Each structure stands twice: as C-alpha cells, then as structure tokens.
Amino acid sequence: MEFGKQLRLVRERAPLVQCITNVVTVNDCANMVLAAGGSPTMAQDVREAAEAVQSAAALVCNLGAVGAVASMLSAGKEANALGRPVILDPVAAGNTELRRRECARLLAEVRFSVIRGNASEIRALAMQERTGSGVDVSGEDAVTEESLPRAVETARLLACRTGAVVAVSGPIDILTDGDRTALLRNGCATMARITGSGCMLTALLGAFCGADPLHPFEAACGAMAAMGVAGEAAEVRRIKNGTGNATFRTDLIDAVFNLTEEELNGGVRYEHYQG
C-alpha cells in the first residue's frame, strides 16, 4: 500500500470536498480538509446541496447533522449520478429511533464509497442491513485484539451488503472492501478526549477519495493512516509541552498540515489481515 502517494494526490489535485456535517465539529472538519491540501465547502441547505455537489470532487454525509438528511439524500443521489464518491459517517447510529430510521433511508437511497464509524456504529449498520430494521446495538465502541475477529466479520458483512469500503476506527482500525482487509495500529488515546476525531477523519476520507475516486480502498487506507500518524505526532507535542486536549486538537490538524509522504510511509503500522 502506497500511503504517501495517496497524500500526494490530495495535495496535487486539491479536491473540493462538500461536507454535510454537524455544527459541533464543522469548523474542525473544514480546517482538516484544508490541512490535507483539499478545499472544503460546507453547503448543506436543501435548496442548493445537490447543485453544490456538481463542482465537488467528493461528498461527506455526517449523521451528526441528523436534521439535514434531506440534503444528504438530494446531494448523495446527485453525487451518485455524477460518479463522485460519497462518504458516510453514521454518528451515533443505532442510539435513537430517529438515527436508525435516517440511516436506513440513507443506505437505501445512496450508494456510499466509504462508510466510517466506530465499532458500535458499524455494528448497528450491519445489523440493520441484515435484519431490515433498526436495532439498538450496545457493546464496546473500540475494537480490541479479542473482539477483532468478530469486528472484521461485521465490517466485511456491511461492505458486502453495501458495496462500500468499511472503515472501523479505534485503537485498531479495520478497513475492508469485503475482499481485502487491512489493519492499522496508529493513533493515541488522547484522540478520544477531543470532540471531532471521528468527524475530522471522515472529512479527511472525503479529501482522499476526492483525489483518487477510482481507488476508495487505497484512498481510505491513506486517510486513516494520515490521521493515525498525525495523532501520534500531536501526542508527542502534548506530552512535551504539557498541554491538554484543546491544544491537542489544534496540533492534530497542524500535524496533517505538516505531514510528509516520508513520515507517513515511515510511521504507519499496517498489516494485511488474514483471518
């Protein structure tokens, strides 16, 4: 896997990424896309979402903006028609009846290139696809060595049902297109002490997929690796400077801004999963 190459493509092609995302982390997502070398537009008014996607290289749908699902559907269908990658972040999927229902609509009406969530969000989607109805899924948010085989199986199931690359982020990241499966072991615990780690990663997935729309698996691996390696750089800085989670958030975006292809290739802990 050529991680550095994926990063280079983002910087060379500077993809315009349209994010329909939640108000909590929208600023961080825009700055993260810019840090990687992309260009963000956060247009999400239902009256213009589909028109805006015509000039975008990729579309990000973040379910944290649960009130904007109509915009996601309209822009998502347009992106599908234009052959632009669409990324889904099923924030808190399965947690409420509303989110289960809105997830089901999105999966039924839009084809996604990548679906990224934590372990419990991916499990919720997979169960929903299998049973045809929303379920309340509980359990751990993060994948451990112990729960890894089952988490991989769940991710593969969702990938096969949806045709999307499925990315499960956590201490161990899982990436699968149903056929190939990769693990990434980068990042740090402080990433769970800021809001928006997941949202920013999804925005980054939009930038990487927008730069290489025909290779969503490789693009997704590149984005996840960039985030993990940047997280480690930011953690080094946090410990050295005695700062806290707020500075870590800023340093994390900076680390993507300053990340070189060599640092990415050298820092990534990647393995092909054979299970």
Which of 98, 104, 148, 160 touches a second copy (CB under 8 A)?
98
- Which range of residues in 47-55, 152-160, 181-189, 216-224 is near a second copy by CB under 8 A? 47-55
Which residue has tokens 């590149």?
222
Which of 2, 8, 41, 273 touches a second copy (CB under 8 A)?
41
CB of 246 to a second copy, least distance (A): 4
Confirm or reject binding of residue 24 to a second copy (CB under 8 A): yes
Which of 11, 12, 67, 271 touches a second copy (CB under 8 A)?
67
Among residues 97 and 271, whose Cβ is nearest to a second copy?
A: 97
Confirm or reject binding of residue 256 to a second copy (CB under 8 A): yes
Confirm or reject binding of residue 255 to a second copy (CB under 8 A): yes
- Which range of residues in 125-133, 164-172, 206-214, 241-249 is near a second copy by CB under 8 A? 241-249
Among residues 133 and 195, whose Cβ is nearest to a second copy?
A: 195
Confirm or reject binding of residue 23 to a second copy (CB under 8 A): yes
The residues of the shown chain that bind a second copy, judged by CB under 8 A, are 22-28, 30-31, 34-35, 40-43, 45, 47-48, 51-52, 55, 66-67, 92, 95-99, 193-196, 242-247, 249-258
